[in-house]
Amino acid sequence: MKFLFKFGLVVSVITTSSLVFLILAFLLYFSIPLFDSAIFVGFFTQKWDVSKSLYGLLPMILGTIYISVLATFFATAMSFSLASLSEGFLPKKIATVVEGIIVLLAGVPTVLYAFVALFLLVPLINIYFFMGKGLSIFTASFVLAFVVLPTIYVMMLSAFRGVPKKHIKTSLCLGATKKEVFFSIMLPQAKPALLGAIVFGFARSVGDTLIALMLSGNSLHMPNTLFDSARTLTSHIALINANDYESVAFKAIFLCALLLFIFTFFVVATLKYLYKEKRYA
């Protein structure tokens, strides 16, 4: 039994790690030919127009950055407020209800968020706020924030719960109020894990495809304001319709994927660094 358990563990580790390397090898295999070609520099220009052999990915890179940064900002603000209230201030019973509701949000399929937003939020913005700007970076980010919220919230909650109870009791014993305990003891100790939650949420925002696909408008133009339409790298991969597997447009998909892979690598490296910092703090 013990042998089987160990064998299972080894197989799982080898499978998952090889899978990562296989994906990387696969992406490099299709992307590397593009590195040599004269059109490589063209990938980092502003115009994507297959009919004119223009393959600029910059609008998609910027669209990804704008939507994920803004979504992470909204989600962090909401998650931090809710997690702080749950762990530091609300009575236990109410905190349990709040936690239950937010965790429930994690189970809602992403398409439902997009669907509801498409019929409620987009017309509202179109009619009352920014005429004809319903499908935009702002709308996609705002809705994406609700998708990312449970992830950041749960990680922040566990960051606060990781603060030893004895430190909280000691500060209460010295006459600290709940607010003083939160700001003097809980927040400084939970900081590295809170930052980790934000980075993880950011990675989650970057990886999401459906919300951006349905709500950002998918424009190929460079976005100038938050109320412009934009396209993310993930949406771009989903939207490219290339029949010729040897075409540059098709190979550009792999370059998009490689960019996302590199980005994810840096996010994971940052997370590792933050947790290492905490361990040695």
The footprint of other proteins (CB under 8 A) covers 164, 166-167, 169-177, 180, 184-185, 189
Shortest separation between residue 23's beta carbon and other proteins, angstroms = 41
Shortest separation between residue 208's beta carbon and other proteins, angstroms = 37
The phi and psi torsions of 146 (rounded to 5 degrees) equal -70, -25
Q: Write the CB contacts of 76 (distance below 8 Å, at least 6 apart in sequence).
A: 152, 198, 201
Spatial distance between the Cα atoms of 105 and 118, rounded to a whole number of angstroms: 18
Shortest separation between residue 274's beta carbon and other proteins, angstroms = 18
The residue (of 178 and 272) whose beta carbon lies closer to other proteins is 178
Shortest separation between residue 174's beta carbon and other proteins, angstroms = 4
Identify whether the C-beta of residue 56 lies closer than 8 Å to the C-beta of residue 48. Answer: yes
Spatial distance between the Cα atoms of 60 and 248, rounded to a whole number of angstroms: 16
Burial 185-222 (b: 16+ CB within 10 A, else e): bbbebbebbbbbbbbbbbbbbbbbbbbbbbbbbbbbee
The phi and psi torsions of 195 (rounded to 5 degrees) equal -65, -40
Identify whether the C-beta of residue 34 lies closer than 8 Å to the C-beta of residue 251. Answer: yes
Identify whether the C-beta of residue 250 lies closer than 8 Å to the C-beta of residue 237. Answer: no
Shortest separation between residue 84's beta carbon and other proteins, angstroms = 18
Spatial distance between the Cα atoms of 231 and 238, rounded to a whole number of angstroms: 11
Residue 44 carries which DSSP code? G
Shortest separation between residue 182's beta carbon and other proteins, angstroms = 13
Shortest separation between residue 99's beta carbon and other proteins, angstroms = 19
